[in-house]
Amino acid sequence: MIKAILIFNNHGKPRLIRFYQYFAEDMQQQIIRETFHLVSKRDDNVCNFLEGGSLIGGSDYKLIYRHYATLYFVFCVDSSESELGILDLIQVFVETLDKCFENVCELDLIFHMDKVHYILQEVVMGGMVLETNMNEIVAQVELQNRMEKSEASDQ
């Protein structure tokens, strides 16, 4: 199971947060801060797994992250997920964003948090991996956007 997905930038500013277990808002912020603290002090050429974010879960949980330019994508997962699999999934997610936003950059995430959420919803649902095929994800996202557009033009 995936317990949380966090996206924040090099300064620790959250760009998207998605918890699959309830935490109060202040706790969520604390988790973001702690995770940022753990992740940001690591070099880019060290491994992408981290044990012991004490706030989320216990020893069974791992932080798996990728660093792209100005953004960190962090998944907090338990031992039922394959480490390398989740790394691939992050890659799929980012590539999907790239396709949907056409050369995605941090600004896209800043101004379209809702859209990023909708894309993520097609990849992960309730903490479980829903779809890993990028074409399928993009197709579903686009169909929904088209629906939204047709509703807007009806008005």
Partner 1 sequence: MALKIVKGSIDRMFDKNLQDLVRGIRNHKEDEAKYISTCIDEIKQELKQDNIAVKANAVCKLTYLQMLGYDVSWAAFNIVEVMSSSKFTYKRIGYLAASQCFHEGTDVIMLTTNQIRKDLSSPNQYDTGVALTGLSCFVTPDLARDLANDIMTLMSHTKPYIRKKAVLIMYKVFLKYPESLRPAFPRLKEKLEDPDPGVQSAAVNVICELARRNPKNYLSLAPLFFKLMTSSTNNWVLIKIIKLFGALTPLEPRLGKKLIEPLTNLIHSTSAMSLLYECVNTVIAVLISLSSGMPNHSASIQLCVQKLRILIEDSDQNLKYLGLLAMSKILKTHPKSVQSHKDLILQCLDDKDESIRLRALDLLYGMVSKKNLMEIVKKLMLHVDKAEGTTYRDELLTKIIDICSQSNFQYITNFEWYISILVELTRLEGTRHGHLIASQMLDVAIRVKAIRGFAVAQMATLLDNAHLLTGNTQRNGICEVLYAAAWICGEFSEHLEDPMQTLEAMLRPKVATLPGHIQAVYVQNAAKLFATVLRKHDGETESQAAQETSQLLIDRLPLFVQSANLEVQERASCILQLVKYIQKLQQKNVEVAEEVTALFAGELNPVAPKAQKKVPIPEGLDLDAWINEPPSGSESEDEKPKAVFAKEEPKHSRSRHTEVDEKELARRREVRKQEQASNPFYIKASPSSQKVYDAPGVEHIPVVQIDLSVPLKVPGMPMSDQYLKLEEERRQKEKAERKKKEKKKKREKRGKERKADSGPESEEDITPAHQVDIVTEEMPENALPSDDDDKDPNDPHKALDIDLDKYVPHCRHLQFIHVLHIVMCRNEFFSKTEIYDFRRIQKKMLCSIETRLNQLSWFPVQKSSKHKKKKQKKEKEEKEKKKKKRHHHHHQHHGDAGGEDSVQNGTVEEEEPLPVSQSHSVSLKREVKVYDIQGNHQDESKVVVSVIFENKSDSFLKAMEFNVLDSLNSKLQRPEGAGAHDSLTVPFQLPPGVSNEARFVFSVQSIVMPQKLKGTLTFIVKSDESSTHEKLDFKLHFTCTSYLITTPCYSDAYAKLLESGDLKGSSLRLEGINMPFHHLLARICFHHHFSVVERIDSCASMYSRSIQGHHVCLLVKTSDQTVSIDAKCDEPSLLGNVLDEIKQTFSKC
Q: Which residues in this chain contact partner 1 in the complex, by CB under 8 A?
A: 1, 14, 16-18, 20, 22, 24-26, 28-29, 43, 45-51, 80, 82-85, 87-88, 110-114, 117-118, 121, 125-133, 136, 140, 143-144, 147-148, 151-152
Please report where in the chains the tokens 């880019």 appear, as a residue. Answer: 44
Tokens, residue 89: 């999934």
CB 122 within 8 A of CB 141: yes
135: three-class secondary structure by DSSP: helix
Residues in contact with 53: Cβ distance below 8 Å, sequence separation at least 6, in sequence order: 31, 34, 35, 38, 61, 63, 76
Residue among 102 and 114 whose Cβ is closer to partner 1: 114
Residue among 40 and 143 whose Cβ is closer to partner 1: 143
> Smallest gap, in angstroms, from Cβ of residue 34 to partner 1?
14
> Smallest gap, in angstroms, from Cβ of residue 133 to partner 1?
7
Residue among 23 and 98 whose Cβ is closer to partner 1: 23
